[in-house]
Structure 1
Amino acid sequence: MLLNIKSYIRRPEVAELISYAVFPDDQAVEKAIREYESHESWQLVGYEDDKLIVGLAGYEKKDTEVILHHIAIIPENRGLGYGRGMILEIMTKERPQRVIAETDEESVDFYRNLGFVVQSLGEKYPGVERFRCVYEVEEEAE
């Protein structure tokens, strides 16, 4: 189940999860935290398992799209379906027509395995290729 964790974004365990989704230095983590604090429309949800927050997803809904800003799972719980589960719960809650994420080469297969179409954005930062991942939500038959 997803929990709204934006109100306790400054807790060490939340900052640690954010560090897995950004360049792992204090400045990048602080910048991400400030973005959530300053943008009311940005949501931050955590996935709790046995009273431990094992993952988080940060996103915003813009019109008919969900923009994923961050997604992270603690290393020992990766590959167990938590990331997929968070994205599915966000889609169920927000009902977007499209979900968009930008990621690095390390995470491309995660998105591709969920049905996202992946496109290279080239080298956005020196030595770092970035990718745009888009999932088009199929309309449900009535």
Structure 2
Amino acid sequence: MLLNIKAYIRKPEVAELISYTVFPDDQSVEKAISQYENQDNMQLYGFEDQELLIGLIGFERSEDSLIIHHIAVIPENRGIGYGRGMILELMTDQKPLRVIAETDEESVQFYRNIGFEVQSLGELFPGVERFRCVYEIEDENNIDNA
């Protein structure tokens, strides 16, 4: 079950997970944390298992879309469905018509495996290709089958 973790965003385990989603330097992590602290439309949820923060997902709601800004799972728990589970739970709870994420080449397959359509955005940063991933939800039954 996802829990709102904005209230304890300054805990080290939250910063560590955020560091997996941005350039891992103190400035980038601080910028991401500040976004969640200072922007009411930015939401940050975590997934805990036996009081251990396993993963987090940061997003904003924009009209009929859910825009994922950050998603991370601690390394020892990757590849077993926590990331997919967080996205599917958000789809069920938020009921958007589409879910959008921008990512790098390393994470494209993760989104494809869930059913996202992936489109290259080219090199938005020198030497780094970025991708737009979109999942269109036709009706509530698609969420259960994703």
Q: TM-score range by the shorter chain?
A: over 0.9
Instruction: State percent identity of aligned pairs.
Output: 71
Deviation, structure 1 residue 38: 1.2
Corresponding residue number in structure 2 for 1:110 = 110
2:69 is the counterpart of 1:69? yes
Cα distance in structure 1, aligned partners of 2:140 and 2:94? 15
Provide structure 1 residue ranges, at least 5 long, that are not aligned to the other structure: none
Deviations 1:55-79 (A, max 9, x none): 0000011111000000000000000
Corresponding residue number in structure 1 for 2:101 = 101
Cα distance in structure 2, aligned partners of 1:48 and 1:17? 13
Show the 5 A alignment for 1:37-48. Answer: 37-48=37-48
Show the 5 A alignment for 1:77-88. Answer: 77-88=77-88
What is the root-mean-square deviation in Å for CA atoms of aligned residues? 0.8
**Partner SS for 2:23:** coil
TM-score under structure 2 length normalisation: 0.95
| AA in 2 matched with 1:2 | L
Provide structure 2 residue ranges, at least 5 long, that are not aligned to the other structure: 142-146
| AA in 2 matched with 1:116 | F
Cα distance in structure 1, aligned partners of 2:140 and 2:98? 14
2:62 is the counterpart of 1:52? no
Cα distance in structure 1, aligned partners of 2:52 and 2:101? 25
Cα distance in structure 1, aligned partners of 2:138 and 2:74? 30
Corresponding residue number in structure 2 for 1:120 = 120
1:140/1:55 Cα in 2 relative to 1: closer, same or farther (>3 Å)? closer
Cα distance in structure 2, aligned partners of 1:140 and 1:24? 37
Cα distance in structure 2, aligned partners of 1:73 and 1:21? 10
**Partner SS for 1:21:** coil
**Partner SS for 1:131:** strand
Show the 5 A alignment for 1:127-138. Answer: 127-138=127-138
Deviations 1:18-68 (A, max 9, x none): 000111111100000011111101110000111101000000111110000
Deviation, structure 1 residue 92: 0.6
Counting matched residue pairs gives 141
**Partner SS for 1:10:** coil
